[in-house]
Each structure stands twice: as structure tokens, then as C-alpha cells.
Amino acid sequence: MTFPRMIALAFVCLVVVSGCSEKAKPVPIEGLKLVKDELRMFEIKVPTNWYVQQRTGDLVIATTTRTIGSRFMSFGKGNGGAKIELRVIPIDSNNPSLDTMIKRSKVEFEDNLDRYQVSQATLGGKSAKKLAVKFDQADGEFQIETYFAENDSLVTIVTIAAFGKTYEDYRKEFDEVLASVKVAQRPVVVAKVASTTSGVPEPPSDTLRTYNAPDFSIEIPQNFEGKKGQSSGLSSVSFLGSRFDCTIQVDVFDASKQNDLNKIVDQNKGRYQGGNPISSSVNGQNAFYFNYNPAANVSSRAYFTVRGNKMFRITLNWYKPEQALYLAIFERCIGTMRLK
């Protein structure tokens, strides 16, 4: 028995068992429907009778049942099943190229053999690369094909996979799904002059740029500006675009007298509607954050972390009806933060 190890993006622990001949019963596809994304304009067909989830701007996933999705995360024992997934990832400093994303989508096996096949393909009329692998598991062969196509510095990734030696049962429908794909494109950003005239706020840019401060650096949307503010601490900087209720704010405080993160979080709990802190990390440092609602239609999140004798508080604010536009990008910004 050989156990693969996960490198990065897409998959977790797969278990390979040699000599399996079992076959699961496939969940039939009763028809296909076209799903369209309003923000990045991608499209894909999914089965009408499967469980479908969609997140504006970057994700569509369809699974044979609601519960099978967890098996694709753990690859433990379970019933046979299949999934169709379209994911969009911008090319940036975290994911600098299509080839990087392909490499991070592979898993390593304990025998160090690379079982994957990489070949040229087409997706949505664009030149693409196909990553494919299959191997036996206790309930039959697992097979997965992933397609990567770049457009507008966005990589559209379409994954089709099936447990229990059922991939070929879906081959005809899977081919129709692949043929239906329209790859993502960047949203049209209205010029600032036009947006001021029309009153339509400009969405945050997918392209990030680096902002350097004495105590930290962070990548922020290209169309956001950094403004220093008054602070009771060491420093304060706010980053904002055309919506004043959609911001990132970084406050730095002297923690030389108290740098116990747990005590700091406990002392601040009452300021954030009494919610329980959620464990996280910032630049590899232990962190906690609170989710709260400071005003109608506005959601917020406040991160706390300590580095040396400095305490950092990073506050995200976003207009709740447009959460899909802001939150994912703001979370990417947090992932780029470097504490000095």
C-alpha cells in the first residue's frame, strides 16, 4: 500500500491500494444545466440532479451527493461518487504562473514516483494543459482530470473526478461539460471619473500591489490607496477604494508590557459584540480574529497577532451585499502580509 503526501492546492491524502477490482454504482446524470458567473463571466454545465454550490467570482462545484464532498477532502473510505469543479485563481505573487498551479495540484507518493500525465489540451477555446492520474482504492479505481487555461492573468481550473471506477460511466456527459466551459475574464473596471459621475462604486482590483510601512508590508488591490491615520498606538494605516465601508486597516501597538496574545484577545473580546475568537495565523504567527457587524449591511473582521513587542490589529470591513466582491480579495491581502 502506498500513501501519497499532499504538496499544496487541491487535494488531501489519497490512499492507493493495489489490485482492486470493485466498482461502485454511479449516480445517474439526469440532465445538464448551464451555470454562469456574473463577475468573471465564466460558464460551465453541471448535472441538474447533483448537489451544486457556487461562489461568485471564483467557484462552481457539483457533486453526486451533498455528503460525498467531504470524501474528496479526506479521501477516506466511503461510497462512490463524482465531482465537477471550476475554480478561478488569479496569477499573483502567491501563484506566479499556470505551471506553478499545476505543480501545486499534484500529490507526492511515498515511493516518490510521479504518476501524473501532463498533456496539451483545449479549454473554452483557449490553449490549456491537462493533468491526469488514476489509481486503485479499496472501492475501485479513482480517476481525476484537471484542465488549466490562462486568460487575463486568471487561470481557470476545471476538475472532473470519480471514485469507484465510475469515471467512464460519465464520459459522455463529462465531455459535454468540458465543451461548455467559458474561461474567466477580469471584470470591467469603470474608470474613477465615470464611477463618480454615475454613482457606481468601483470593485476592488484583482491585481495586487505592495505597500511598505515601517512595521509591516501588505499587498493591496491596485485601485486602493493607503492613508495614514491618527492612532493611540504606534501607527495606523487605512486602505480603501471607492466604497468607504470596504476597507483594510492596520494598527500597530506597543506590546512591551503585555505581549501575551491570549490575554490581549480576552481583554478585547467585549469590544467585538462578545463573539468567540477564531484561531488563525498572520505571516506564520499565531493569530485570532473576531467576526462582528458594526453597522447595518456592514460586516467586519478584526485580527490580532503579536510579533516581538508589537501587537498588530488588522481590521477588514465590507459591504455585506457585495461580500463576494470584497472578502476573498481581502483574505488574499491578509495572506500577503509580512510583519517586520
Cα distances (angstroms) measured from residue 68 to each of 53, 162, 213: 13, 11, 46
16 lies in the same domain as 103: yes
Number of domains in the chain: 2
pLDDT over threshold 60, residue 72: yes
pLDDT digits (tens, 9 = 90+) for 243-275: 878 999 999 999 999 999 999 999 888 887 667
For residues 108 and 209, membership in a common domain is answered with no
In this structure, the answer to whether residues 207 and 143 fall within a common structural domain is no
At 168-188, the pLDDT tens digits run 999 999 999 999 999 999 875
The rounded mean pLDDT for the chain is 83
Asked, for residue 188, whether it belongs to a domain, the answer is no
Residue 211 lies in a domain: yes
User: At residue 332, what is the residue type?
Assistant: R
Report how far residue 97's alpha carbon sits from residue 88's, in angstroms, rounded to the nearest whole number. Answer: 13
Q: What mean pLDDT do residues 216-237 have?
A: 87
207 and 325 housed in the same domain: yes
Q: Which are the contacts of 209, defined by CB distance < 8 A and separation ≥ 6?
A: 219, 220, 221, 222
Show the domain range for 212. 202-339
pLDDT in tens, 22-63: 677 888 899 999 999 988 999 999 999 999 988 778 889 999
Instruction: Tell me the one-letter amino acid at 114.
Output: D
185 lies in some domain: no
Q: What angle do CA 20, 26, 31 make, to 5 degrees?
A: 150
Other Cβ atoms within 10 Å of 294 Cβ, number? 13
Specify the CATH number for the domain of residue 163. 3.40.1000.10
Q: 232 pLDDT exceeds 80?
A: no
User: And the C-alpha cell for 121?
Assistant: 489540451
- Asked if pLDDT for residue 3 goes beyond 60, the answer is no
Q: Are residues 286 and 323 both part of a single domain?
A: yes
**The pLDDT value given to residue 70:** 64
Same domain, 34 and 106: yes
The DSSP output letter for 189 is: P
